[in-house]
Chains A and B, each alone.
Chain A
């Protein structure tokens, strides 16, 4: 059973064909490295999967069920989570509050529903432990390292029982040590049977974690092959067009 299947998905903006006839199958627990030059259609593809845009034509299947997303919340409900490049965290709140933002745990005190901070801290500490991250639930996100922020963003996806996590350039703006931390987080998700789509320009990072490399060029899918059977040189050729397809 595939976690996600795209069937000839196209997305046109007027005369611009941002995505052309893209078909792709992603298995549970698979890490996909989605690569391509600027304007190749990576963001459009991610936005179609995440429910930001409806495809012009073609179909999206989640868990073998046809999925029609009208808004990002629909995709979230279907188990698709996006970790945004800017991480979309609230710097002024604690790690635990960020993990639970929008789905806070509450408990009843007399006639009132009050936030259950203790339960949220415990639960997020468990999630951070599962991710083998040293992030502490009470710490303010403002004072965290890039790697810890990633852990918070990823813990959010674990909380919602995501099937597929889309990650947009998670290693773009962080230190070398933190990159290793983030790659470990991705392996952790994979080990929990969650499919990860990693959008990145950083070839070494992609080759380190991805099971499969998918290359887009001018809106078309030009390659989808096992990372072990490919090489950075080949992928570079595919991205630039020096190699037509593989």
Chain B
């Protein structure tokens, strides 16, 4: 750049000078493209994909993973990991199930379930931030503890009677509003809020800074420990919310709900562009990552391919998405 350029020109320029190149430099864009192409292909190849019923199922299924992927993206972008989300889902679900089957109304059940989830996040966050323990170990421990607590709570029985507000709970997770499944609406709202928080609030800015360089962030005087706790609490909140919605959708809950779900969620976040090294991730990416996983899953079923292949396809996509990002960024590395 010449030294004669005006201040305004300098402010306006960045390395990705055109909007198109900026969009194309995001992994999320390519993953989104892949998901759209997969949808188009399926619409042409099968007469079952683009049916209202199938789309309804797809969107509802992916909403559950998508909601937690938003929380997971915050955790990953902050430089951490949360393996306990699947267990938090079942603990929250069991909490509301036990409370409501005991005859209490839904407006007690929902806050109780959410509070339980927030408590899980708080314990995770405090152990990681203040005791300085590795996130992997703390949340791995919580993965075991939370599921075990759900078993204790329910005596490992299936719960399917939810007292006076039974119908309300089922409508919340299984019903739809304006033709859209409720979980999808929750996902959309939460994605907008998360996306806004990432980009436009101090919390978001500090979260990404911490993921980029925790020491530097600490040196600027940002309260890194509180920030870390808030991130794990947010992640647990998304899991707790999903637990409540899933009970309503399934109409019953067993203690294996959400088993191995943390892996799909992490996969969704990573496919959506979250970098496990920290500092990178978007809310839109989390949603798109979750969508792609569900579309792959659904397409295998519709195309009559054995479901045993699901893992191979999802796994391959994780590796491809990350490899793609690696090669694209290779030219910027020092």
On A, residues with C-beta under 8 Å from B are 72-73, 76, 82, 84, 87-94, 97, 101-104, 106, 112-115, 121-122, 125-126, 128-129, 134, 136-140, 142-143
Contacts and interface: CB of A to CB of B under 8 A. Distances in A.
A115 B202 contact: yes
Contact of B212 (A91, A128, A138): A91
A140 B16 CA distance: 10
Interface string B1-19: 1010001001111110000
B148 interface: no
A101 B202 CA distance: 9
Contact of A122 (B1, B11, B215, B216): B11
Given A128-B10, A136-B1, A140-B15, 20 more contacts: A73-B221, A76-B221, A88-B215, A91-B212, A91-B279, A92-B211, A92-B212, A92-B279, A93-B208, A101-B220, A102-B206, A102-B220, A104-B205, A115-B199, A122-B7, A125-B7, A125-B11, A134-B3, A136-B11, A136-B13
Nearest to B334: A142
Contacts of B211: 92
A137 B93 CA distance: 47
Complex A-B, nearest 10 residue pairs according to Cβ-Cβ distance, in ascending order: A102-B220, A138-B14, A92-B279, A90-B212, A92-B212, A88-B216, A114-B200, A90-B213, A90-B209, A125-B11
A125 B216 contact: no
Given A90-B216, A136-B13, A143 B332 contact: yes
Interface of B: 1, 3, 7, 10-15, 199-202, 205-206, 208-209, 211-213, 215-217, 219-222, 279-280, 332
Nearest to B77: A92
Contacts of A72: 219, 221
Contacts of B199: 115
A106 B221 CA distance: 18
29 contacts: A72-B219, A72-B221, A82-B219, A84-B219, A88-B215, A88-B216, A90-B209, A90-B279, A91-B212, A92-B280, A93-B205, A94-B14, A97-B209, A101-B205, A101-B216, A101-B217, A102-B217, A102-B220, A102-B221, A104-B202, A113-B202, A115-B201, A115-B205, A125-B10, A126-B7, A137-B11, A140-B15, A142-B332, A143-B332
Contacts of A90: 208-209, 212-213, 216-217, 279
